Amino acid sequence: MIVTITRKDLIALGYGPSFARDIIRQAKHLMVQRGYGFYNTKKLGRVPVEAVEEILGVKLKQEDLLKSCDTAEATLIKERDFNG
């Protein structure tokens, strides 16, 4: 299961709006380079957390992601942690 993150989630984590937008843009570019062409659109604003972590060079804390994400996304994060 892939856990994703949006610009709004990054802002909730404390990143500025402009920086959050740039992070999502870079993550989408990274995903296109990896062969996921459907990220090559302006309308898609949700990217895998792993791509964002790679760009930032840090691992995002799971509890911080749970606070910033909606309920359905938080459930997926808990499942990912439980299942390994």
Number of domains in the chain: 1
Task: Report the pLDDT averaged over residues 53-65.
Answer: 82
Q: Which residues constitute the domain of residue 51?
A: 4-83
- The beta-carbon contacts of 6-13 under 8 Å, at least 24 apart in sequence, are 6/45, 6/46, 6/47, 7/45, 8/68, 9/65, 9/68, 9/69, 10/52, 10/68, 12/67, 12/68, 13/60, 13/64, 13/65, 13/68
Q: What is the pLDDT of residues 25-41, one digit of tens each?
A: 999 999 999 999 999 99
Sorting pLDDT into bands at 50, 70 and 90, what band is 3? confident
